[in-house]
Amino acid sequence: MVLIAGYSFVAKNVSGSTDPIMFAIIQGLTFAAGVTVILAGVCMMLSEIMPAFTGISSKLVPGAVPALDCPVVFPYGPTSLLLGFISMFIGMIIGMFVQMGFHSVYIILPGIVPAFFAGGTAGIFGNSTGGWKGAIVGPFIVGVVLAIGTGLLLPSTGDLATTGSTFGDPFYATAGLAFAKWTKLISDNIILGIIVLLVVVAVLWFLGRRWTTRELQNNQEMAK
């Protein structure tokens, strides 16, 4: 990125007294060190929390399953993690240019953190179901949706929109956008809003029932 931006531009506006090339190397090493610290911290935290959770859940909520943050899967697919990260970042760049092409009021700049955590996780799960194509295509779609969806949602966030900042999360850009549009719809036409809600609930129920039935059939076939 330093070479693309231009050596003189980076030296004048970004790196200060540090040589731009050395600045890029230091930033890359800093990012790698930060990720290493995060992974080590997650592993250490899980090793401490899981035994405590097991004891609590067995007494208070029998059969409960702990929900873990996405970095817990990073060690299982480092290559998929990198592919997902790069692919989602490219998707966010394309989403940014799409917004510029439509002269959007808010243009979402690509973010390293959501691309790494959301894109990397999507790459790992995409690889487990669709191979290297899943590790690339899935995060790419997430990146485009995140950029465009967040830009469309930002006008509905009240005072947050005036700060020029938002949340870099795919769920925020999809479910959050849908909820914001539904809230506006039900405030304008409550009957239509209720009908739309019922249709969405019915579709989700049908998809969930279909997925559950498929899982049961797969388990029965594996048992045989």
User: Taking a C-beta distance cutoff of 8 angstroms, is the pair 119, 143 a contact?
Assistant: yes
Left if phi > 0, otherwise alpha if psi is -120 to 50, otherwise beta: which for 66?
Answer: beta
Helices (runs of H) and strands (runs of E) counted in the chain: 9, 0
DSSP string covering 137-172? HHHHHHHHHHHHHHHHHGGGSTHHHHTT-----HHH
pLDDT score, position 223: 65
Q: What would the pLDDT profile of 52-73 be if each residue is shown by its tens digit? A: 777 777 777 777 777 777 877 8
Name the token pair of 28: 């890359």
Please state the rounded mean pLDDT for residues 142-162.
Answer: 85
Most confidently predicted of 42-51, 81-90, 147-156, 163-172? 81-90
Cα 16 to chain centroid distance, Å, stands at 32
**From residue 73, how far is each of 70, 106, 124 by CA, in Å?**
6, 33, 8
User: Taking a C-beta distance cutoff of 8 angstroms, is the pair 38, 70 a contact?
Assistant: no
Place of tokens 């059939």: 217
Name the token pair of 27: 């930033």
Which of these ranges, 6-10, 62-66, 193-197, 220-224, has the smallest mean pLDDT?
Answer: 220-224
- The kind and range of the H/E element at 80 are helix 78-101
Is-above-0.75 flag for pTM?
no
Q: Band the pLDDT of 97: cuts 50, 70, 90.
A: very high
Nearest partner of 144 among 174, 166, 116, judged by Cα = 174
- Between 45 and 12, whose confidence is greater? 12
- The kind and range of the H/E element at 131 are helix 120-153
- Helices 120-153 and 170-188 cross at an angle (nearest 10°) of 30
Please state the rounded mean pLDDT for residues 136-153.
Answer: 90
CA torsion angle for 171, 106, 15, 30 (degrees, to 10)?
0
User: Taking a C-beta distance cutoff of 8 angstroms, is the pair 139, 96 a contact?
Assistant: no
Average pLDDT, the chain: 84
- Between 156 and 27, whose confidence is greater? 27
Which of these ranges, 20-24, 93-97, 177-181, 214-218, has the smallest mean pLDDT?
Answer: 214-218
- Between 144 and 218, whose confidence is greater? 144
